[in-house]
A and B are shown apart, each in its own frame.
Chain A
């Protein structure tokens, strides 16, 4: 009920703000996990697209057409996502869809958008979303690849002479996917995994696993998971007196996890987009302007620290808006336009799409960050 009320309110707001323009609104769908266990993804994404839509409409819309966002909550659930996407396509007749937030929910709707021929720009990471390219004609994604995160970590390790590592991963989809990639790429970098531990999504103490890792003679630990384990593992390591470096996944990209881990967060190394350290980038960095503007606007409006996840929605919606500006309200033309975008500067990196690559990012989209004095700091660009 509440959700419907919200949506009604939003539609009314948009209708009122769009009343000045006589031209027909451009309808774009957004499906995010706004509630439920993945809400830490969906909420900043929803906030971001709302903020962009307000801005676009305030500035006169897209070529005079107001942008009408229709936002659906998936609660992170596959069935609800399928229903939401069907509704957006058949009832609302949207021109394109931004989202979903999770890899599983995205894969669930890929066949639907392929059949209905509606462009979908996912905010989820799994590589299967955009491969194989010949079966993903209408699907794009904005987050960087998991495997690139692993590669950046291994490159950093190699440079610092680390060859024996321990991995500890959550049993969630994200953790399991990371574990797979970590094991797959280790031999290519001459890295040996001497301990492989896992933990449940709600575990509150990882000292047993870390005790084993301590005894394994590993030179570094990689933890791949989502909250709150990302704050607990460093705390437990400190408790056990472990001083070997801790690497975490790009999921660590939210300053709240650093605060939760306290002093134990100091020195954690992780690959991440450049959004969190936007202000520290040199002024001539191509992404700096976009990142700083988005970060300031978001933090001012929502009074909470920006996260990379909202950034994925930022990139996705702007791709759609740019396409609408150029080619107008035609689904096929929007798709063709996005497929040939080159040098689009987003929050996740600089996108160069092609018919074979519907992600458009390379491993250079990740920088290596660390935690210094309770703040994120750039370690290696």
Chain B
């Protein structure tokens, strides 16, 4: 296999990996604030892509569709928290997770009724002309996906580390009762984390749609792969999630190109299992970090 072909495989891996990474970020945010895994995260991504494609399909400008779609899905995330998570009197992790699973089924069904079962598509932000580099081609949309992931990771990092609100969010995750005793409005923090992660998911959904295309069932798979990336990177660690997402993508693409496309998913999954066997907390996770 020539060097340029090898580079091409890496590029493909980065393309797919950046999609996983972006989905993984949303998982981390809610996990950081509440300690639960939001299984509706993939659906937020799907809804973001579907809404943007729907708006753009009506002739609205792309940036406007992007902003409106993120705002709408963030609002949906907020109302999901208010209507389904918040009213629970004694929130237990397990029942909360069950609720998010129910939410994912509900969102999927709603999307099917709203937009039908057909695959929707969105124009690439800066054209379809591939960027050539040393004989390999990169889809320009990949740069948008990577850029979005990067910007979101940096903003999240700054937010969680250096703002009072961000610190309050982390405090909620490590100990709810203690956080409440110090005067942190826990329920509002949880609301905020759902709103933010829905918005992040939607932003991811919009930028990946030109590559992946979108349909009402796509969220399940994106959620699954994003979840794998979040676990591999260490739950709660946004930087780890991005790195792990890219790693899974590269592994899939390299195994398809060098070994055989028939075993592509198997290779990636075996690698995931192997890592988790030796480091159950993920590559960049620590057992105590939240």
Partners in one complex: yes
Q: Are A239 and B139 in contact (CB under 8 A)?
A: yes
Interface of A is mostly: helix
- Report B111-154 residues with CB < 8 Å from chain A CB: 112, 117-121, 123, 128, 130, 137, 139
Given A205-B253, A208-B257, A40–B2 Cβ distance below 8 Å?
Answer: no
User: How many residues on chain A are close to B (CB under 8 Å)?
Assistant: 35
Per the bound structure, the CA–CA distance linking A208 and B11 in Å amounts to 9
- Residues of A with C-beta under 8 A to B9: 207-208, 211
- Report A239-296 residues with CB < 8 Å from chain B CB: 239-241, 256-257, 259-260, 262-264
Q: Is B99 an interface residue (CB 8 A)?
A: no
Quick one: which of B16, B112, B257, B262 contacts A204, CB cutoff 8 A? B16
Per the bound structure, the CA–CA distance linking A259 and B265 in Å amounts to 29
Quick one: which of A40, A197, A207 contacts B118, CB cutoff 8 A? A40
- Residues of B with C-beta under 8 A to A228: 119, 212-213, 215
Per the bound structure, the CA–CA distance linking A200 and B262 in Å amounts to 9
Q: Are B15 and A205 in contact (CB under 8 A)?
A: yes
Q: Are B2 and A204 in contact (CB under 8 A)?
A: no
Q: Is B286 an interface residue (CB 8 A)?
A: no
Q: B-facing mask of A188-230, CB < 8 A → 1, else 0?
A: 0000000001111010110111011011000000000001100
Q: Is B272 an interface residue (CB 8 A)?
A: no
Q: A-facing mask of B223-255, CB < 8 A → 1, else 0?
A: 000000000000000000000000000001110
- Residues of A with C-beta under 8 A to B11: 207
Instruction: Among A202, A208, A209, A239, find the residue whose CB has the most chain B CB atoms closer than 10 A.
Output: A208
CB distance from A308 to the nearest CB of B (A): 15
Interface bin, chain B? 35 or more
Quick one: which of B119, B128, B262 contacts A256, CB cutoff 8 A? B119
Per the bound structure, the CA–CA distance linking A208 and B249 in Å amounts to 11
Instruction: Among A205, A214, A238, find the residue whose CB has the most chain B CB atoms closer than 10 A.
Output: A205
Given A205-B12, A240-B8, A260–B119 Cβ distance below 8 Å?
Answer: yes
CB distance from B101 to the nearest CB of A (A): 19
Q: Are B121 and A259 in contact (CB under 8 A)?
A: yes
Q: Is B1 an interface residue (CB 8 A)?
A: yes
Per the bound structure, the CA–CA distance linking A231 and B254 in Å amounts to 23
Q: Is B85 an interface residue (CB 8 A)?
A: no
Q: Are B211 and A204 in contact (CB under 8 A)?
A: yes
CB distance from A39 to the nearest CB of B (A): 5
- Residues of B with C-beta under 8 A to A65: none
Q: Is A232 an interface residue (CB 8 A)?
A: yes
CB distance from B13 to the nearest CB of A (A): 8
- Residues of A with C-beta under 8 A to B217: 37
CB-based nearest A residue for B257: A208
Quick one: which of B1, B8, B213 contacts A232, CB cutoff 8 A? B213
CB-based nearest A residue for B215: A228
Q: Are A231 and B257 in contact (CB under 8 A)?
A: no
Given A199-B261, A208-B253, A39–B16 Cβ distance below 8 Å?
Answer: no
Quick one: which of A207, A215, A231, A262 contacts B2, CB cutoff 8 A? A215
Q: Are A211 and B8 in contact (CB under 8 A)?
A: yes
Q: Is A43 an interface residue (CB 8 A)?
A: yes
Known pairs A204-B16, A238-B130; list 10 more (Cβ under 8 Å).
Answer: A43-B117, A197-B261, A199-B264, A200-B265, A207-B11, A208-B12, A208-B257, A212-B257, A227-B119, A260-B120
Chain A positions near chain B (C-beta within 8 angstroms): 35, 37, 39-40, 43, 197-200, 202, 204-205, 207-209, 211-212, 214-215, 227-228, 231-232, 235, 238-241, 256-257, 259-260, 262-264
